[in-house]
Amino acid sequence: MHEVHVGEDLRERNREIAGENRELLRKHGVVSLNLMSAPGAGKTSLLLRTIPLLKEKFRICVIEGDIQTRRDAERVGALGIRVYQIQTGGVCHLDAAMVHTVLHQLDLDSIDLLFIENVGNLVCPAEFDLGEDSRVMLLSVSEGDDKPKKYPLMFLESRLLILNKLDLLPHVEFDADKAKAEARDLNPYIEILEISCKTGEGIQNWITWIENFYKNREVS
Amino acid sequence: MSNLLETVERAASKEGAETIRVIHLRIGEMAGVNIDALSFAFDVLSKGTMVEGGKLEFERVPLCVRCQECGLDSQMNDFIFRCDRCGSPDIEILSGREIEVDYIILDDECDSGQEKSAY
């Protein structure tokens, strides 16, 4: 028996492909956001709220990542925008190669804004750069206020944290200040919005956030 | 996981080996990896590969950071990204995000005559 030094990072290949994706998206002027959260936190509901408010202003495309089914793609596609479903077949996250394949099927010149809805999971998606401009994570108040320190990487890697399901606050023990403080411990630069996809509360702030993000990305 | 198997099989083939006995991984405290899930996937997916029956070892790498303001290096245990000394949020991660294959141990049974390439 003998030992062989390998010293290889297992994310290296993903990083290379993510870099290609990023270059491709920039070349065609597509601004992209990677939406991440635990299952059921409201990623699809957020898109269903968001798209009608933005689709006159931006040409929108959505990539849906799910382990199984086309349900999310069907719900979002009903809004009359282009939707591509990636079924990962058991894999708990999207990776750059999956997105790369889809990007080559799209007419990128006819897209302004691309939402990538990741597989519901608070761990692995954070490790896989897809080539997006920025990462947005959702945390619903019913998940508990102790999540930031339990899933630190997701909070560290996100530019924006959206606290969703504000309408449930009276019914659950969720200390929003504690959750926000823990998120800021992990990522002092994280931006935070509070919304309810059910009632529409705070949605306008999210729309404004996207518009500003788009404007600043265009300039940079 | 498929990346892991590809990486170690490539490294082992380069050495002319046919069987991998041990894969030693370095996993950072801050890495988004569930070790139980990884071990389970390894048991399932390694069947029929050079690694079948081999052992997956894990070494945890502590989260170490450097303050970009005052230069203090420290080990972080509480996930509070502010400098212990000056309070700056401008923190660089030095280690603790690793997901890497450090080394593998190969079985030379089939190629005892080629040991010279091994050391």
Specify the residue for token string 């408010």. A53
Q: How many CB pairs under 8 A join A and B?
A: 90
Q: Which fold has domain B2-62+96-118?
A: hypothetical protein PF0899 fold (3.30.2320)
Q: Which two tokens stand for residue A19?
A: 């870099």
Chain B contact for A13, CB < 8 A? yes
Domains of chain A: 6-219 (3.40.50.300)
Query: Are residues A10 and B79, on separate chains, in Cβ contact within 8 Å?
Result: no
User: Which pLDDT tens digits describe chain A residue by residue (220 residues)?
Assistant: 899 999 999 999 999 999 999 999 999 999 999 999 999 999 999 999 999 999 999 999 999 999 998 899 999 999 999 999 999 988 889 999 999 999 999 999 999 999 999 999 999 999 999 999 999 999 999 999 999 999 999 999 999 999 999 999 999 999 999 999 999 999 999 999 999 999 999 999 999 999 999 999 866 6
- Give the tens place of pLDDT for each residue, B88-113: 999 999 999 999 999 999 987 654 44
Query: What pLDDT is attached to residue A217?
Result: 85
Nearest CA in chain B to A128: B32
**Residues of chain B with a CB closer than 8 angstroms to some CB in chain A:** 3-4, 7-8, 11-12, 15, 21, 30-34, 37, 78-82, 89, 98-108, 115, 118-119
Distances (CA, A) of B65 to A28, A186, B58, B95: 37, 13, 22, 7
pLDDT of B115: 47
ipTM of the shown complex: 0.82
Residue of A nearest to B119 (CA): A2
Closest CA of chain B from A22, distance in Å: 21
Distances (CA, A) of B102 to B11, B38, B72, B117, B119: 11, 16, 28, 19, 17
Q: What residues contact A137, with CB distance under 8 A and at least 6 apart?
A: A35, A36, A37, A154, A155, A158, A160, A161, A162
